[in-house]
Amino acid sequence: MAGVRTAWTTVEDGDFFCPGCGGDRNYERRVGRRRLTVLGLPVATRGEVEAVVVCSSCDRHHGPEVLDQPTTTRLASMLRDAVHTVALAVLAAGGARSRTARLAAVGSMRAAGFTACDEEQLLTLLVALSADQATTGADLTDEPELRQALEPLSAHLAPAGREALLLQGARIALADGPYEEEELAALSTLGRALRIPVADVDQLLAAAPERS
Ligand SMILES: [Zn+2]
How far is residue 206's CA from residue 187's CA, in Å, rounded to a whole number? 11
For residues 155-169, give the mean pLDDT: 94
What is the average pLDDT across 145-157?
90
User: Across residues 82-86, what is the average pLDDT?
Assistant: 94
Question: Taking Cα atoms as reference points, which of 108, 29, 21 lies closest to residue 72?
Answer: 21
- The model's confidence at residue 210, banded by pLDDT at 50, 70 and 90, is low
Ligand 1 centroid vs 182 CA: distance in angstroms? Answer: 47
> Is the per-residue pLDDT at 109 higher than 90?
yes
* 54 Cα–ligand 1 center, Å: 8
Ligand 1 midpoint to CA 26 (Å): 8
Ligand 1 center from residue 57 Cα (angstroms) = 5
* pLDDT classification of 212: cutoffs 50, 70, 90: very low
175: closest CA among 120, 119, 86, 104?
104
Mean pLDDT of 8-22: 95
Phi, psi (deg, nearest 5) at residue 47: 95, 170
Domains of the chain, with CATH numbers?
2-68 (no CATH), 72-207 (1.10.3680)
pLDDT at site 4: 87
